[in-house]
């Protein structure tokens, strides 16, 4: 059931596999098994789900099923194909035994304990060993090719928001605005949303995790949108707050504090700085203004094939930033019963500091509809 032709992966994929192999070599892994969908896509460009990639020093095996037969031939003709009839773990076992593997590295992050138990049993006498987070670490640094797709994903989200804002008026429901925004993203080529769109007014915006509901926009109200597109598998992630009618006085002040904190944090970003230090820059601005307790989450997170990926831009992480990382910067202040303000951009770490890839306006006067 194994076939192989057209021998060479495209350059970007070749480079990724080389890096995976160098990491394998450092971790003394003779083989490396990848099972989570975004990781198998990242490593090979193969779009199929429910599949596994086995990387060896001189070969790459794709273990999948009949649904993806044609996709494998089109997307990874340079890999060795195995189509399972039974369950995936059994076919992984067959391949490991056929190759005479003694140990195979597995990343504990992307696999359920149940799957791990099944694979452990199925690959005998081969043994699973915990691998370091090889793919998560590689995925932290975005290539030019990835950034091109990410920029497009951001552009789709922003253009969709501009089209949505033109339709907003008192009486419209949160859920209607969210539906419109998602439609406009899809219409511009998004394959879907990066996550469930948040559209929250007034008191509902005081919950950082608020979902869109049946509340109607009032003649005077604040609206928080947290939204993103998925395009070519890559996620964008933005937050903006808009106002209809009058800005509630306390919310206006809070808006300026959050924006100041966000700009200060962006300004502090450069390679070598630790994630916790950038978080602290924003947190200090907010704490000095008296709202430290109301900034209830970390400053941001890595963004790419997953909407939340490494690094975590939080007080909990002392990881240094590196050139090519893409992170969200999204401080927020939440006033229970009143409202909440969060401002979020997608920011690339470059050798000269931060480059903000999002461009939709965020000054207070641009927030008034």
Q: Which residues bind a copy of itself (CB under 8 A)?
A: 48-49, 66-68, 70-71, 86-87, 106-114, 116-117, 130, 175-176, 178-180, 182-183, 185-187, 189, 191-193, 196-197, 207-209, 211-212, 214, 296-297, 316, 336
88 within 8 A of 50, measured Cβ to Cβ = yes
- Closest distance between a copy of itself and the C-beta of residue 352, in Å? 34
Q: Minimal distance in Å, beta carbon 365 to a copy of itself?
A: 30
Which DSSP state fits 364? G
Sign of torsion over alpha carbons 259, 264, 266, 267: positive
CA 47 to chain centre: 17
Q: Which is nearer to a copy of itself, 71 or 264 (CB)?
A: 71
Nearer to a copy of itself, 30 or 132 (CB): 132
- For residues 312 and 329, give the distance between their C-alpha atoms in angstroms, rounded to a whole number: 11
Interior/surface letters 2-29, b for 16+ CB within 10 angstroms, e for the rest: eeeeeeebeeebeebbebbbebbeeeeb
Question: What's the closest the beta carbon of residue 296 comes to a copy of itself, in angstroms?
Answer: 5
Q: Which is nearer to a copy of itself, 45 or 245 (CB)?
A: 45
Q: How far is the CB of 169 from a copy of itself (least distance, A)?
A: 16
Q: How far is the CB of 187 from a copy of itself (least distance, A)?
A: 5
Q: What angle do CA 267, 273, 278 make, to 5 degrees?
A: 50
Which residue's CB is nearer to a copy of itself, number 32 or number 243? 32
Tokens, residue 336:
């229970």
Q: In terms of CB distance, is 53 or 118 closer to a copy of itself?
A: 118
By C-beta, is 70 or 267 nearer to a copy of itself?
Answer: 70
The angle that helices 37-44 and 11-26 make with each other, rounded to 10 degrees, is 110
CB of 15 to a copy of itself, least distance (A): 26
| Per-residue tokens: 325 | 């990382």
Task: Determine if residue 192 is left, alpha or beta; phi over 0 gives left, psi from -120 to 50 gives alpha, anything else beta.
Answer: left
């Amino acid at each position: 059931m194994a076939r192989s032709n057209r021998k060479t992966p495209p350059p970007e994929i070749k480079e990724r596999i080389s890096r995976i192999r160098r990491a394998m070599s450092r971790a003394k892994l003779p083989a490396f098994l990848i099972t989570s969908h975004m990781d198998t896509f990242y490593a090979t460009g193969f779009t199929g789900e429910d599949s596994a990639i086995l990387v060896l020093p001189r070969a790459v095996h794709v273990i999948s099923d009949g649904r993806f037969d044609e996709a494998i031939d089109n997307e990874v003709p340079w890999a060795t194909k195995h189509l399972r009839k039974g369950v995936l773990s059994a076919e992984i076992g067959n391949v490991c035994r056929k190759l005479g593997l003694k140990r195979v590295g597995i990343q504990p992050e992307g696999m359920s304990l149940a799957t791990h138990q099944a694979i452990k049993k199925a690959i005998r006498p081969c043994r699973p060993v915990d691998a370091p987070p090889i793919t998560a670490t590689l995925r932290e640094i975005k290539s030019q090719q990835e950034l091109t797709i990410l920029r497009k994903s951001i552009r789709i989200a922003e253009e969709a928001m501009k089209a949505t804002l033109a339709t907003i008026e008192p009486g419209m429901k949160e859920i209607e605005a969210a539906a419109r925004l998602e439609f406009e993203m899809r219409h511009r080529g998004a394959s879907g949303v990066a996550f469930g769109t948040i559209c929250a007014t007034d008191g509902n915006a005081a919950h950082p995790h608020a979902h869109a509901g049946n509340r109607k926009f009032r003649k005077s109200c604040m609206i928080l949108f947290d939204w993103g597109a998925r395009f070519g598998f890559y996620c964008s992630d933005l937050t903006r707050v808009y106002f209809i009618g009058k800005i509630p006085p306390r919310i206006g002040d809070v808006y300026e504090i959050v924006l100041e904190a966000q700009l200060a944090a962006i300004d502090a970003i450069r390679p070598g700085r630790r994630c916790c230090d950038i978080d602290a820059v924003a947190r200090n601005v907010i704490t000095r203004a008296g709202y430290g307790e109301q900034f209830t989450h970390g400053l941001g997170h890595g963004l790419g094939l997953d909407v939340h990926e490494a690094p975590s831009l939080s007080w909990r992480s002392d990881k240094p930033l590196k050139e090519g990382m893409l992170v969200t910067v999204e401080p927020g202040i939440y006033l229970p019963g009143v409202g909440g303000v969060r401002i979020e951009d997608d920011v690339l770490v470059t050798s000269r500091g931060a480059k903000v890839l999002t461009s939709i306006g965020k000054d207070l006067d641009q927030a008034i509809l």
